[in-house]
Structure 1
C-alpha cells in the first residue's frame, strides 16, 4: 500500500493520542480509589482489582490485536478498538458496584488491547528502523504524561465533581480519535495467516493466572495455598505455550525473535524495571490520602512535577544516549529511579512539600529517559517479518508489567501490615522495598553490549548532516 504524505504526517499524532488515552485511563483511577471505595462500600486498599482487571485484559488480548490488524487492516481495527474503549468508559461511569466496575473495565481493556499496539504497528510499517528513535520519542511523550496527569486529574474531578467523570472524559477523546483515524490512519494489511487459537489460550490464560495469583497474595481474600496454586498454574501454562510454539507452524508469539539479543534484553528489562515505576502512580496517591491525610485534589496535584520532568527530559534523551550509549544509560537510570522510589520512605506529613516535589520531578525525567531508551532498543533490530509479533510482545510486556507493579506493591503493602506500626510506616517500608527491587533491575541491562543501539543515533546524525 502506498503511504501518502498526509497519512504519514498524521500517523504519529494518532499513535500519541492512543498512548495518552490508554496511559491516562490506566492511572486516573488511582487518586479516585478512596472516593469510589466509599461510594461502593469497599476498603480503599482492596480496590486494586479495578486497576488490574484492565491491565490483565489488555495484556491477554494484545497478541490478538496484531493478528487482527494484519488480517483486517490497521485503520478498521483501530477504529473498532477506540469505539469499544469509549463505550466501556461510559459503562464504567454508570456502574453501581465493584463487580460492575471491574466487568466494564474488562470491556475497556478489550478496546485498549488493540488501540495502542495497532497504532504502533502502523508506525513500524510506515517508518524505517533508523527513524524509530525520534518517532517513538514523540509518541511516548503523552504516554508518560498520562500516568502522572491521571492522578492529578482524578483528584480534581473527585473534588469538584464525582468519580464518574474520570470515565466520562474519555468519551469526547474517543469520538475525536475515531474521526481523526478515519481521515489519517493508513490501512496496512499483510497476507492472511492462520490464527493460533491453542497458543492464544495457553499464553493469554497463563498471563491472567500468573497476575491473578500475585494479586491474590496482596488481597489476602483466599488461603495462601490457593494463591500459590493459581500462580503456579499461570507459570505452567506459559511453559506449555513455549512447548507448543516450538512445534506450531504459525505460533501466536514466534520464539525465534527472542534470539535477537536486544529484543530479549528489552523485554526482560521492561518487566523488571516497571515493577518499580508501575507502583508509584498507585502507591503515592494512596499514601498521601490514607497515610498522610491529604485531600484527593492535593494528592493528585503532587504528581504534576513528574509530568513536567518527563516533558523536559524528552528534548535531552537523544543527547544522553549519544554521550553514554544505551547500555550505560539504562543501567544507571534504573539505579537512579530505584533510589528516588526508596527516598519516598523518608517523607512525612510534617515535611515541606518541596522536599517531595523535587524527587518527583527528577523521577519524571529519569522515567522518560528509561522508557524511550527501552522501547527503542527493544524494536530496533527486529526485521519486517517479526515486526508485528515483536510489537505485540512489547505491548504485552508493558501492560503486564504495570499490572505486576500494582499487584506486587499491593502484596508488599499487605505484608507489612502484619507488623506493628502506623499506616504511614507500612507505606514507607513498601516504597523502600520497591526501590531496592528497581535498583536490582538495572543489572538486566548489563547484558547489552556497549555498541548496541549506536546505529539508531548515527543514522539520525547522518540525516541531519544531509539535510544541512
Structure 2
C-alpha cells in the first residue's frame, strides 16, 4: 500500500500510486455529480412524502447548485490554508453526512438545509480533488489522469435520472442518498491513507472577493436555473443575470488589485489556460444541452417510452467510456490543436446528426449516432480539461483549479438553459408553443451545432506545439 511520502508531485510512481489517487478522486466526483441529477426522476415520490407539490422540490435542487456556486471560490484558499488531504477528506465527510440528513428528512425545509450542506461539501471536494490529482501526477501522465477524472462529469447526467427512478421505484427515494454512505466511508479511508498534502501559506482571507464572487455566481446560477423551467420568468431571470454579471465583474476587478486575492487571476495570462476556459466553456455549454434535449426529443417528439429513451442515453455513455483507452494515443498523434479542431468538427456533426433523426429512423442508426457522439464529446472534454493545466506553474495550480471549477459550474448551468431557450425559440418559430415536435428539436439542435462550431475559434489560435510536453506530440510545423 502506498505511503503519503511516495506521492510527491515529481514522483514517477504514477502508474501504480498516482493512478489510484486519480481513480479515488474520480469516484468522489462521480458521487457528487450523480447526486446533482439523480433525484430528478424521484421528485414525485419525494413530494408525496413531504406533502408538497412536485414543483416545490425544485427548491432543493436549486439550493444544492447555489451552495456549489457560492463556496467553490473558497476551495483554493481553504486547501492552501489547511492542506488538500485534510480538506478533501473533510469535504467527503460533510457530503456523506449531508446525504444521510437528506435521506432522513421529514419535511421540505429539512431537505433543503441538507442539500445546502451537500453543496458545501461538493464545492470543496471537486476543485480540491482536481488539485490533488495535478500535484500527484507528472506532466507525462497528465492526459491519463485527466481522462480518468473527466468521465464522472459525462456519465452522471446520463445515468442519474434513470438510476434515481429505478432506486425510487424498487426501494424508496431515501436510498438515493443512503447509498452515498459506504461510498463516502471508503473514499475517506483511502484519501487519508494515500494522499499527501501539507498546508501552504497562511494568506489573509479575501472577504470582499468572497462576497462578490458568491453573490455573482449564485445569482447567475439561479437565473440559469429559472430559464430551464417552463414557463420562463424572463423578468426575474434577467434581473438575476444583471446582478450576477455586475457582482462577478466587481469580483474580477477587485481580485486583480488585491494584495491577497481569494483567487489568483494571473493564470489568465497563460495562453493554453485562457483558450481552454474560453473555447472550452462554449463547448461545455453545447454539450450540456444534450442531456436536456435528447430525452425530451425521444419521449415528446418520437413517442418513445422512458425505458427506450434511457437505453439510447446509455449508448451515449458507452461512447464516453469506450474512447478512454485511445485518448493518449490520439493526443500524441495529432496534438492538442489538431485533436480539438478535428474532433470539434465531429462533435458539431454529431449534433447535426441528432437533428436529422426522426421517429422512422432505424434503432440501430440512432444507437450508432449516440455512441459516436459520446466518443467525440468525451475526447473533446479530455482535450480541453487537460490543456487547461498544461502550462500552469505549481504556484498557480490552486487558483487555476478554482477558476476552472467555477467556469465548469457556470457552463453546466448555461448548457441546460441554452437547450431550454433554443427549444422555446424553435417553438415560437414553428408555432408549436408547449407541444414541441420533430421540427422544433431539429431547430434546437441546429443552434447547438452552430455553438459547437463557434467554440472552435479559440483552438485555431493555438500554436501547433501547444501542450506538447503533456501530449508527447511532435509537430512538423515550422516554429
Question: Normalization by structure 1: what TM-score?
Answer: 0.87
1:188 and 2:202 are equivalent in the alignment? no
Q: Equivalent residues in 2 for 1:326-337 (5 A)?
A: 326-337=336-347
What secondary structure is seen at the aligned counterpart in 2 of 1:316? helix
Residue 231 (structure 1) shift: 0.8
Query: Residue 360 of structure 1: which of 370, 380, 405 is its match?
Result: 370
Partner of 1:437: 451
Partner of 1:424: 437
Partner of 1:448: 462
Alpha-carbon separation, structure 1, partners of 2:301 and 2:213: 38
Q: 1:367 to 1:304 in 2, by over 3 A?
A: same
Alpha-carbon separation, structure 2, partners of 1:272 and 1:9: 30
Higher relative contact order (CA 8 A, sep 6+): 1
Partner of 2:28: 18
Q: 1:219 to 1:9 in 2, by over 3 A?
A: closer
1:278 and 2:316 are equivalent in the alignment? no
Q: 1:36 to 1:410 in 2, by over 3 A?
A: farther
Residue 98 (structure 1) shift: 6.7
Deviations 1:394-445 (A, max 9, x none): 1221122111111222233344444522333444433332232222222232
What secondary structure is seen at the aligned counterpart in 2 of 1:271? helix
Partner of 1:41: 53
Partner of 2:214: 204
Residue 52 (structure 1) shift: 5.1
Alpha-carbon separation, structure 2, partners of 1:101 and 1:299: 29
Q: 1:244 to 1:50 in 2, by over 3 A?
A: same
Q: Equivalent residues in 2 for 1:59-138 (5 A)?
A: 59-94=69-104, 103-138=113-148
Q: 1:323 to 1:459 in 2, by over 3 A?
A: closer
Residue 36 (structure 1) shift: 6.0
Alpha-carbon separation, structure 1, partners of 2:448 and 2:209: 33
Is the Cα–Cα contact under 8 Å of residues 290 and 419 in structure 2 kept in the other structure? no
Alpha-carbon separation, structure 2, partners of 1:414 and 1:92: 34
Is the Cα–Cα contact under 8 Å of residues 266 and 378 in structure 1 kept in the other structure? yes
1:405 and 2:418 are equivalent in the alignment? no
Task: Give me the CA root mean square deviation.
Answer: 3.0
Alpha-carbon separation, structure 1, partners of 2:468 and 2:192: 37
Partner of 1:316: 326
Query: Residue 177 of structure 2: which of 151, 155, 167 is its match?
Result: 167
What secondary structure is seen at the aligned counterpart in 2 of 1:380? coil
Q: 1:353 to 1:262 in 2, by over 3 A?
A: same
Is the Cα–Cα contact under 8 Å of residues 31 and 300 in structure 1 kept in the other structure? no
What secondary structure is seen at the aligned counterpart in 2 of 1:139? helix
Alpha-carbon separation, structure 1, partners of 2:115 and 2:348: 30
Q: 1:142 to 1:57 in 2, by over 3 A?
A: same
Is the Cα–Cα contact under 8 Å of residues 152 and 303 in structure 1 kept in the other structure? no
1:299 and 2:309 are equivalent in the alignment? yes
Q: 1:209 to 1:328 in 2, by over 3 A?
A: same
What secondary structure is seen at the aligned counterpart in 1 of 2:472? helix
1:149 and 2:125 are equivalent in the alignment? no
Is the Cα–Cα contact under 8 Å of residues 262 and 448 in structure 1 kept in the other structure? yes
Is the Cα–Cα contact under 8 Å of residues 30 and 282 in structure 1 kept in the other structure? no
Partner of 2:37: 27
Is the Cα–Cα contact under 8 Å of residues 263 and 379 in structure 1 kept in the other structure? yes
Q: 1:437 to 1:388 in 2, by over 3 A?
A: same
Deviations 1:128-173 (A, max 9, x none): 3333222222333444333333244234334534444433322221
Residue 354 (structure 1) shift: 2.1
Query: Residue 343 of structure 1: which of 353, 359, 371 is its match?
Result: 353
Partner of 2:254: 244
Is the Cα–Cα contact under 8 Å of residues 73 and 406 in structure 2 kept in the other structure? yes
Is the Cα–Cα contact under 8 Å of residues 63 and 252 in structure 1 kept in the other structure? yes
Q: 1:118 to 1:159 in 2, by over 3 A?
A: same
Q: 1:47 to 1:82 in 2, by over 3 A?
A: same
Q: 1:283 to 1:83 in 2, by over 3 A?
A: farther
Residue 197 (structure 1) shift: 1.3
Deviations 1:331-383 (A, max 9, x none): 23223223322432333444433232111111111122111111111011011
Deviations 1:227-260 (A, max 9, x none): 3222111111111112211220111122222111
Q: 1:84 to 1:327 in 2, by over 3 A?
A: same
Alpha-carbon separation, structure 1, partners of 2:154 and 2:28: 12
What secondary structure is seen at the aligned counterpart in 1 of 2:257? coil
Aligned length: 458
Is the Cα–Cα contact under 8 Å of residues 31 and 285 in structure 1 kept in the other structure? no
Partner of 1:380: 390
Q: 1:143 to 1:405 in 2, by over 3 A?
A: closer
Is the Cα–Cα contact under 8 Å of residues 89 and 168 in structure 1 kept in the other structure? yes
Question: Normalization by structure 2: what TM-score?
Answer: 0.85
